[in-house]
Chains A and B, each alone.
Chain A
Amino acid sequence: MNVTDKDFNEKIINSPLPVLIEFWASWCVPCKMMDYVLNELEEEFDGKVLIAKLNIDRNRKTPQRYELTGVPTFSIFKDGKLIDSRIGAQSKKDLISMIEKIIK
């Protein structure tokens, strides 16, 4: 799911489910390679975790608010709070371990 500055509060902060969000950019080659992993996670964790993406060039407030230092950044939000963040491409296994920490 794509989110923007405008709907970030509604979709991410107020999400009833925990969220894994990727902050990405179209010039970021590793970000593009993560797409199919996120699609797979979206299916595998359907109903348990919300998988989201935010383009940092088209949405500048949110990345500033969380003081991002690079892309891709993968962040976990739960009950509106930022719980965990990792920078750089991640394997599917690494992302699953991030997710499992909060749903178990």
Chain B
Amino acid sequence: MYNANKTCWNCPAAKLMGNVDFRACGQARDKGLDLGEEEEIVIECRRRPELGYFEPNITFEQCPEWTPTEYGYILKEMKVMILGIDGYLGWSLALKLAKLGFQVSGLDNFTRRDCVMEKGAHTIVPIKRMTERLEVARDVLGININFRKLNLNATAKLREFLEEVKPESIVHYAEIPSAPYSMADLEHAVKVQENNVLGTLKLLWLMKEVVPETSLIKLGTMGEYGTPLTGRPLYEGLFPADAIIEWDDRKWSLGGETTPRDPASFYHVSKVQDTFNILEACKYWWLRSYDVMQGVIFGVYTEELAMDNRLRTRYDIDEWFGTVINRFVAQAVVNIPLTIYGKGEQIRGFIALNDAMQCMIRLIISPPEPGQYDVVNQVSGLHKLSELAESVAHVGKEKFDLDVKIQRLENPRVEADTHPFEVVSKKLPHVFGFTPQITLEEEIERIFAVLKEPEIKNRIEMKKHTIMPITTWQGKKREMKVLERYDPGTKPIKGFKPKFDN
């Protein structure tokens, strides 16, 4: 198994604090500093205090606290705290982890529900209040989730919750994930950056003080990288060792340096800022983190969500919070032409909900080393938007007998709508053992099946006016002109061909 040879050095139960000199960056080894006795690092184990002090060399395979499962070795009843547990991803992950035997806790202050309500929209898949969700999870799945209504920015209360739970891994989904929301006006831009950037910065300080050995699995976005017109590959956050910069007849290795970021909205900027704050916190304090550059997410399915309608996760289709595939399927169901912005030759990375959850479990149970900051590109395929519209139309026609049209709108965003795109995504499949379980068209079919239910179709009809974009990157609201309407299969696919290095 891919994580069998990891050792106490990676394990959150290993107590480094008090046993290890945390001064990093080689400073502690300057001649002027007196280190005292030079000894091998020894640790204590929180779970096995009987071991006393020992060198952190026991492997997960050898340790009785780690047990083998289909996902790899799992730390028994590992305590995972999910920030943003009420959201599309947070809720899905909470159920999956708890069902696997993790002790799940989580916080949310329902920002997402409020933001969607502010837009005059709603989740088209109805979701219950949190108290009811937790009850149903208990009755149907036999799991208990420790929930706290809490704002990530409420530092004193967050500290209390961390001290009470002492999580062994923290999954950070508690950010406002919308580019257009952040571009609406001054107030929205500030709200997004305050929530995302300051929330994460506060979290980092609290982790340093309360749970410094806990790993932070932080949701970033592929949108941090932008779409470089040179076609340079989008590496996994850091340059590989053999990347060279050449200038003025001289050469240097760029190995391990952060790759350029080119965010495409104030929301994306907030994610880039998080990346740098986390990287520094790892360097200064020996925190440890995986920064997850997730592709655009889509889908409705995990095994747990599908067990009871009351356990389903939210599903947004409005211009602020609806992601492209999810929105296309909703449009197809109520007979609105699928809306493509601009030329439609934009290419993005995508991943289905269930596959993203599999990746997260693998990252949680294979924690980084002390001080290690690493980046993974969490993507299972690259697709051009115009081709996605064709795929949704095709599944709609073949499986559900829907007559779907496609329309191009003026692009409300400032972005390249024709660009090369090459993505490297090697770590999840090769280091963490991830294999995607579902194809694009299969998941689209599953979405159709849910959205065709009369109650849900009705909920789409009620809010279909929130789908068309009116938020422009100029900070003004206006309706976008329809540039073209066409039938699927009638237009040649133009633009660049994506390249996926996985």
Given known pairs A5-B40, A34-B241, the reply for A94 and B253 (CB within 8 Å) is yes
Closest chain-A Cβ to B321's Cβ sits at a distance in Å of 33
Q: A25-B26, A26-B369, A27-B371 are in contact. List 8 more A-B contacts (CB 8 A).
A: A29-B238, A34-B241, A57-B41, A67-B31, A71-B26, A89-B257, A90-B253, A91-B244
Within 16-40 of A, Cβ neighbours of B (below 8 Å) are at 25-34, 36-37
B38 within 8 A of A: yes
- Among candidates B38, B240, B254, B372, residue contacting A26 with C-beta atoms closer than 8 Å: B372
Closest chain-A Cβ to B76's Cβ sits at a distance in Å of 25
B120 within 8 A of A: no
B350 within 8 A of A: no
Closest chain-B Cβ to A44's Cβ sits at a distance in Å of 14
Complex CA gap A68/B372 in Å reads 20
B20 touches A57 (CB 8 A): yes
B328 within 8 A of A: no
A60 within 8 A of B: yes
B244: chain A residues at CB < 8 Å are 91
A58: chain B residues at CB < 8 Å are 9, 40-41
B394 within 8 A of A: no
Complex CA gap A55/B41 in Å reads 11
A104: chain B residues at CB < 8 Å are none
B370 touches A26 (CB 8 A): yes
Interface 1/0s, chain A 28-69, versus B by CB < 8 A? Answer: 111111101100000000000000000011111101100111
A81 within 8 A of B: no
Complex CA gap A64/B368 in Å reads 26
Complex CA gap A82/B368 in Å reads 32
Complex CA gap A58/B7 in Å reads 14
B40: chain A residues at CB < 8 Å are 4-6, 58-59
Within 24-39 of B, Cβ neighbours of A (below 8 Å) are at 24-26, 29, 31, 35, 38-39
- Among candidates A25, A36, A57, residue contacting B241 with C-beta atoms closer than 8 Å: A36
Complex CA gap A26/B256 in Å reads 12
B20 touches A89 (CB 8 A): no
Given known pairs A89-B241, A91-B253, the reply for A27 and B26 (CB within 8 Å) is no
B279 within 8 A of A: yes
Given known pairs A6-B40, A61-B38, A91-B242, the reply for A30 and B257 (CB within 8 Å) is yes
Closest to A93 in B: B242
Complex CA gap A18/B238 in Å reads 31
B242 touches A37 (CB 8 A): yes
B24: chain A residues at CB < 8 Å are 25, 27
B448 within 8 A of A: no
A-B contact pairs, 20 of them (CB 8 A): A5-B38, A6-B40, A25-B371, A26-B368, A26-B369, A26-B370, A26-B372, A27-B24, A27-B25, A27-B370, A27-B372, A29-B258, A30-B255, A32-B372, A32-B374, A33-B240, A37-B241, A37-B242, A60-B38, A61-B38
A33 touches B241 (CB 8 A): yes
Interface 1/0s, chain B 231-274, versus A by CB < 8 A? Answer: 00000001111111000000101111110000000000000000
Complex CA gap A71/B283 in Å reads 13
Given known pairs A34-B241, A60-B29, A92-B242, the reply for A27 and B35 (CB within 8 Å) is no
Closest chain-B Cβ to A29's Cβ sits at a distance in Å of 4
A56: chain B residues at CB < 8 Å are 26, 29
Closest chain-B Cβ to A70's Cβ sits at a distance in Å of 5
Q: Give the 7 A-B residue pairs with the shortest CB-CB distance, closest first.
A: A27-B371, A30-B256, A89-B255, A26-B369, A33-B256, A29-B256, A89-B253
Interface 1/0s, chain B 261-305, versus A by CB < 8 A? Answer: 000000000000000000100110010000000000000000000
B373 within 8 A of A: yes
Complex CA gap A28/B241 in Å reads 13
B372 touches A34 (CB 8 A): no
A68 touches B253 (CB 8 A): no
Closest to B244 in A: A91
B372 touches A89 (CB 8 A): no
B368: chain A residues at CB < 8 Å are 26
Interface 1/0s, chain B 358-376, versus A by CB < 8 A? Answer: 0000000000111111100
A67: chain B residues at CB < 8 Å are 31
Closest chain-B Cβ to A24's Cβ sits at a distance in Å of 10
Complex CA gap A69/B279 in Å reads 21
A63 touches B242 (CB 8 A): no
Complex CA gap A63/B25 in Å reads 13
Interface 1/0s, chain A 63-101, versus B by CB < 8 A? Answer: 110011111000000000000000011111110000000
A26: chain B residues at CB < 8 Å are 9, 368-372
B257: chain A residues at CB < 8 Å are 29-30, 89
Closest to B37 in A: A60
B282: chain A residues at CB < 8 Å are 27
Closest chain-B Cβ to A2's Cβ sits at a distance in Å of 10
A70: chain B residues at CB < 8 Å are 26
B238: chain A residues at CB < 8 Å are 29, 33
B371: chain A residues at CB < 8 Å are 25-28
Within 333-385 of B, Cβ neighbours of A (below 8 Å) are at 368-374
With a 10 A CB-CB cut-off, give which of A28, A33, A71 has the most chain B CB atoms: A33
Interface 1/0s, chain B 425-443, versus A by CB < 8 A? Answer: 0000000000000000000
Interface 1/0s, chain B 8-51, versus A by CB < 8 A? Answer: 01000000000011001110010100010011110000000000
